[in-house]
Amino acid sequence: TRNGNAVVEKDLLNHEDLAGDRGMIDDIFDETYREKEGPKPPLRYVWRNIILMSLLHLGALFALTLIPSAKIQTLAWAVLCFLVSALGITAGSHRLWSHRSYKATLPLRIFLTIANSMAFQNDIYEWVRDHRVHHKFSETDADPHNAMRGFFFSHIGWLLVRKHPDVIEKGQKLDLSDIKADKVVMFQRRYYKPSVVLLCFTLPAVVPWYFWDESIVISFFIPAILRYTLGLNATWLVNSAAHMFGNRPYDQNINPRENPLVSLGALGEGFHNYHHTFPYDYSTSEFGWRFNLTTAFIDLMCLLGLASDRKKVSKEVILARKMRTGDGSHKSG
């Protein structure tokens, strides 16, 4: 018989087993943390970021007007750059390095690091540090993109102001020894700026211009600027939209939601109620390849012998969790 307590115990046991298996638990929600009393610290704007992000988005709008004059190869190249850079985030800094949800061989880690610099979302070390505090202190002052502060803040606003002191205080206590021990990640951190200039902006622009005589303006604005801006916004939608709009079949007590539209743009990362409930699952979803190119990619890498040890939550544990804390949305339809 399934009595409430037995289910809780099984769920927790599974949690710890899988966490221990990964050698880390710092992406699991810490409910003991309390926000400090009293007024919040004032916003401190970072004008350099405000100006650069505005220019980037204006550049992306201009790039949209160039699409009708672009060669078909250039558009295909832009899509390829989008997919590769997105995998550097989803399969790389997210599922591999932040959550340790599978293991990757050296060649795959090198590929993911190159793809990650192409995505220019801060180096892997910084991304992982911010992402682990996001899970551990989700929707509090210690969450870098705290969705309680609204759509704009969790989408882009958090990159335009100084961090809340609790993000830094709590972040400094995280265990990042696994990341520091990864030579590929630390190499990227050391050469991050030149790697971004080369991989996010120069390479995407030079290829169409050199190989099929695309105009240099189109080569720069579509595969570099527009592709980069779309990648950023697809990622940010996970923090904003997927923390606000959608069902909560796994845990109705937390904010993150199941948002298939976000998953479509973010290569499988929009099943965010599932992901915050089971952060160690390599698929970030109950449903395998559905809207989830990243899972297909990781599976392919395993097939090729470049990855292994995929962590997956069992159907029984998922079902028990749905019954215990879900909003019932999966039962009714």
Q: Is 23 left (phi over 0), alpha (psi -120 to 50) or beta?
A: left
Looking at 14, 101, 116, 121, which residue binds ligand ST9 (CB under 6 A)? Answer: 121
Which two three-digit tokens encode residue 133? 């505090």
Does residue 276 bind ligand ST9 (CB under 6 A)? no
Q: Which is nearer to ligand ST9, 144 or 204 (CB)?
A: 144
Looking at 7, 112, 133, 222, which residue binds ligand ST9 (CB under 6 A)? Answer: 133
Smallest gap, in angstroms, from Cβ of residue 290 to ligand ST9? 16
Count of chain residues binding ligand ST9 (CB under 6 A): 31
Does residue 226 bind ligand ST9 (CB under 6 A)? no
Q: Which is nearer to ligand ST9, 19 or 238 (CB)?
A: 238
Backbone angles phi, psi at 104, to 5 degrees: -125, 140
Nearest to 62 by CA among 50, 54, 51: 54
Question: Helix 124-136 crosses helix 183-190 at what angle (to 10 degrees)?
Answer: 110
* DSSP per position, 168-205: HHHHHTS--HHHHT-HHHHHHHHTHHHHHIIIIIIHHH
Smallest gap, in angstroms, from Cβ of residue 129 to ligand ST9? 5
Q: Which stretch binds ligand ST9 (CB under 6 A): 71-79, 105-113, 157-165, 285-293?
A: 157-165
Looking at 18, 184, 225, 238, which residue binds ligand ST9 (CB under 6 A)? Answer: 238
Does residue 113 bind ligand ST9 (CB under 6 A)? no
d(CA 152, CA 135): 19
Q: Which stretch binds ligand ST9 (CB under 6 A): 5-13, 100-108, 229-237, 248-256?
A: 229-237
Footprint on residues 24-83 left by ligand ST9 (CB under 6 A): 46, 49
Residue 244, amino acid? M
Does residue 255 bind ligand ST9 (CB under 6 A)? no
* DSSP per position, 218-282: HHHIIIIIIHHHHHHHHHHHHHTGGGTSSB-SS-TTSS--B-HHHHHHTTTTTBHHHHHHSTT-T
CA distances to 60, 143, 229, 294 from 90, in Å: 23, 19, 16, 7
Looking at 84, 141, 154, 171, which residue binds ligand ST9 (CB under 6 A)? Answer: 171
Question: Helix 47-66 crosses helix 227-239 at what angle (to 10 degrees)?
Answer: 120
Looking at 81, 96, 159, 222, which residue binds ligand ST9 (CB under 6 A)? Answer: 159
Does residue 241 bind ligand ST9 (CB under 6 A)? no
Q: Which stretch binds ligand ST9 (CB under 6 A): 8-16, 105-113, 127-135, 245-253?
A: 127-135
d(CA 250, CA 326): 4
- Give contact residues for ligand ST9 (rule: CB under 6 A): 46, 49, 86, 89-90, 94, 120-122, 126, 129-131, 133, 144, 159, 162-163, 167-168, 171-172, 231-232, 234-235, 238-239, 266-267, 269
